[in-house]
C-alpha cells in the first residue's frame, strides 16, 4: 500500500492555504506533513517504511519546524525512514516484490509514474520471473472498514470536537438577532471554535437566515437575517483532525411563530425517532426509515401532502421536502468513508460507529403542494452526532438542547 501526503495548495501565486493533511496517511502513520509517502509492505516481513522531508533551516525559517527523519520515525514507528528524494530510486524495488498495489491513482504524479512503471515491468518480465504487481486496488477496500469502527482514542477526540462545536453554536445563538448579518453570526461561531482550541471549522459553515435555510449547502452567509425569520446553523469544529457536525435552527426573534413551531416539532420528533432506532444489529437504513416516517406523517398533518403515510413514503412524495439522507459517517472526514450498503442490504450498525442524525424539512418558495403558502420559506434541520454503543446509542451532542423553550432561551443570551 502506497499513501502519498496531500499537496500544499495555494490561493494564488505563492500564497499557501492552511495545510490539510491526507487523512489515510495520518490514520496509519500519525503524520500531518507534506512531502511524505508511506509504504506498507505485507507478506512474510510486514513493515512500514516512510519517505519524508529532512530538516532544512532555510525552509523552516519561512514555514516553521519540520519533524525531520528522526521525528517522523518517532511519530510513526516506521521501520525505516528515507529522505523523500530517494523515493524514485527505492520505491520500484519495493513495488517489484508485490503482487498487488493498493494506491489511489491521481493523488501524486510521481507515485503514479512509479506505480505504472512497476506494472509495466511486471507485465514484461513477470511471465518468466513469476513475480511483480499485476493489479492496482483502491486502499479504501481495507482502510474504509478500519476507519468505520472508531478506537477509544478516536471517540475521545470526536467528543472534544463535539464539545467545541456545541460551544460555537452557543456563541452563534448569542449573536443572533433580527437584522444581524449572517456573517456576524458566522464570525462568532468560528471565533468560538478557535478560542476553545479547535483547528477551525471542519467545513464551510452554514448560517442561513429566512429562505436561505431552504438551501441545503448554503455557505455564502452574506445576507441580513430577516425579521421573524429562522436561522439554520450547520457547522462543526475540527479538533485533532477529527470533526463535530451539528445543526440547530433558531428563531431570530427569540420566539418561534406558530407555523415555525409546528414544523420544528415534527423535525425534532423525527430526530428522536431516528436516535431511538440506533443499536447494534439495526441498520443505517432503519435510522433513515424511522425519521422519514415521522416526517411524512408530519407533512400529512400539516396538509402539505395527502393520502396514506405508507403510500406517501413508498412513492417518495416526501422527498420534495426532505431530499437528503438522515445520516452520514463522521470522523477524520466530516463525511467519513464507509459503505452504507453491503451486498445490496443496508449496513448493519456495530459498536464504535459514529454518525450524524439530521432530519429536516424545507419548504422552498418555488415548491408546489397543497397548503404550501402557509409554510413557504421555512427551513428546519436538527442534527446530532451519535456513537453506537454496546447496547444502544450515545448522543455526543446532547448538551446542546433541541427542546423549543431551551432553544429560544439561547438566542441573544
Residues tagged active-site: 14, 217, 234, 245, 324, 328, 335, 358, 362, 381, 383
Torsion of CA 307, 310, 314, 318, to 10 degrees: 60
Cell of 393: 446509542
Give pairs for 222-227: CB < 8 Å, separation 24+.
222/181, 222/182, 222/183, 223/181, 223/182, 224/179, 224/180, 224/181, 224/182, 225/176, 225/177, 225/178, 225/179, 225/180, 225/181, 225/182, 225/185, 225/252, 226/178, 226/252, 227/178, 227/179, 227/252, 227/253
Q: Transcribe 69-120 into DSSP letters.
A: HHHHHHHH--SEEEEGGGHHHHHHHHHHT-SEEE--TTS-HHHHHHHHHHHH
Show the beta-strand stretches assigned E in 169-209. 200-201, 206-209
Packed helices 109-129 and 87-96: angle between N→C axes, nearest 10 degrees: 40
CA distances from 344 to 285, 315, 339, 347 (A): 12, 20, 11, 9
Amino acid at each position: 500500500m502506497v499513501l502519498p501526503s496531500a499537496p500544499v495548495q495555494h490561493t494564488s501565486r505563492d500564497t499557501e492555504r492552511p495545510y490539510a493533511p491526507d487523512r489515510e496517511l495520518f490514520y496509519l502513520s500519525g503524520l500531518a506533513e507534506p512531502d511524505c509517502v508511506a509504504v506498507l509492505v505485507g507478506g512474510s516481513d510486514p513493515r512500514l517504511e516512510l519517505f519524508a522531508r529532512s530538516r532544512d533551516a532555510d525552509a523552516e525559517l519561512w514555514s516553521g519546524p519540520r519533524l525531520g527523519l528522526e521525528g517522523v520515525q518517532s511519530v510513526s514507528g516506521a521501520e525505516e525512514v528515507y529522505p523523500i528524494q530517494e523515493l524514485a530510486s527505492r520505491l520500484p524495488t519495493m513495488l517489484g516484490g508485490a503482487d498487488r498495489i493498493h494506491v489511489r491513482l491521481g493523488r501524486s504524479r510521481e507515485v503514479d509514474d512509479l506505480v505504472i512503471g512497476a506494472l509495466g515491468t511486471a507485465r514484461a518480465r513477470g511471465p518468466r520471473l513469476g513475480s511483480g504487481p499485476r493489479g492496482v486496488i483502491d486502499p479504501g477496500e481495507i482502510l474504509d472498514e478500519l476507519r468505520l469502527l472508531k478506537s477509544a482514542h478516536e471517540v475521545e477526540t470526536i467528543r472534544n470536537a463535539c464539545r467545541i462545536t456545541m460551544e460555537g453554536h452557543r456563541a452563534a445563538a448569542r449573536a443572533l438577532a433580527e437584522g444581524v448579518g449572517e456573517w456576524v453570526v458566522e464570525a462568532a461561531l468560528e471565533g468560538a471554535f478557535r478560542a476553545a482550541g479547535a483547528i477551525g471549522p471542519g467545513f464551510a459553515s452554514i448560517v442561513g437566515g429566512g429562505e436561505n435555510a431552504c438551501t441545503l449547502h448554503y455557505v455564502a452567509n452574506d445576507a441580513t437575517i430577516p425579521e421573524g425569520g429562522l436561522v439554520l446553523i450547520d457547522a462543526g469544529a475540527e479538533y485533532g483532525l477529527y470533526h463535530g457536525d451539528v445543526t440547530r435552527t433558531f428563531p431570530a426573534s427569540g420566539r418561534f411563530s406558530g407555523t415555525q413551531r409546528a414544523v420544528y416539532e415534527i423535525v425534532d420528533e423525527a430526530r428522536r425517532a431516528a436516535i431511538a432506532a440506533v443499536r447494534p444489529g439495526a441498520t443505517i437504513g432503519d435510522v433513515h426509515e424511522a425519521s422519514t416516517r415521522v416526517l411524512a406523517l408530519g407533512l400529512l398533518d400539516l396538509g402539505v401532502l395527502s393520502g396514506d403515510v405508507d403510500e406517501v413514503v413508498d412513492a417518495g412524495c416526501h422527498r420534495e421536502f426532505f431530499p437528503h439522507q438522515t445520516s452520514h459517517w463522521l470522523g477524520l472526514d466530516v463525511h467519513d468513508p464507509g459503505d452504507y450498503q453491503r451486498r445490496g442490504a443496508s449496513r448493519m450498525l456495530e459498536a464504535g460507529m459514529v454518525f450524524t442524525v439530521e432530519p429536516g424539512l424545507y419548504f422552498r418558495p418555488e415548491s408546489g403542494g397543497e397548503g404550501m403558502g402557509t409554510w413557504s420559506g421555512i427551513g428546519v434541520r436538527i442534527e446530532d452526532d451519535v456513537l453506537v454503543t454496546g447496547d444502544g446509542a450515545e448522543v455526543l451532542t446532547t448538551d446542546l438542547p433541541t427542546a423549543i423553550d431551551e432553544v429560544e432561551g439561547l438566542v441573544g443570551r
